[in-house]
Amino acid sequence: MMKGVVVMLAILGMMGCENNGNSSGRILDKQKMQAVMWDIIGADVFTEQFVKKDSSKNPTMENIQLQNKIFAIHHVSRADYYKSYEYYLAHTDLMKTILDSMTAKGERDRMKIVEQHFDRNYLKKDSVARKDSTVRKDTVTSNNSVHRYAN
């Protein structure tokens, strides 16, 4: 009888931990799932856009290696990720929250890149060109002779 109670408590204890950690068979929380899924999607995009163009590489194997690195970085097993993925697919309201957050993150990241590479005042500075740059002082004709014009 006592053994039965201990076994039952052990089973309940294992089931109770199902959503809290990252050992085999556990569901990842939304934030962890979002972070891992973001990186997995990034690896898929990288494989599609770059690795597939390199005929010396096997895209499937390269993608698997990238995924394994991602799982190691996030301290998640492949089994936990895919079990969580199935769980979130079955719970569409939770998956929608994750995907909406990922979309917002992608937009924020895209805007940071745009702001880093393009000065917001670039067009304003460029559109007010110096007066002397608008008047061409010399012109090359079709026979490659240069005609100079006075201002």
Q: Which amino acid is at 83?
A: K
CA distance linking residue 63 with residue 42, whole number of Å: 10
pLDDT at 54: 87
Instruction: Delimit the domains of the chain by residue range.
Output: 26-114
CA distance linking residue 14 with residue 70, whole number of Å: 26
Burial class (CB in 10 A: 0-12, 13-18, 19+), 33: buried
- Write the CA distances from 8 to 5, 19, 26, 55, 97, integer angstroms: 5, 19, 19, 55, 35
Residue of 135, 48, 114 lying closest to 40 (CA atoms) = 48
Q: 52 has which bridge partners?
A: none
pLDDT at 145: 54
CA distance linking residue 64 with residue 40, whole number of Å: 10
The pLDDT profile of the chain, 151 residues, written as one tens digit per residue, is 444 333 343 443 443 444 444 344 699 999 999 999 999 999 999 999 999 898 899 999 999 999 999 999 999 999 999 999 999 999 999 999 999 999 999 999 989 888 887 765 555 555 555 555 555 555 555 555 555 555 4
pLDDT at 13: 42
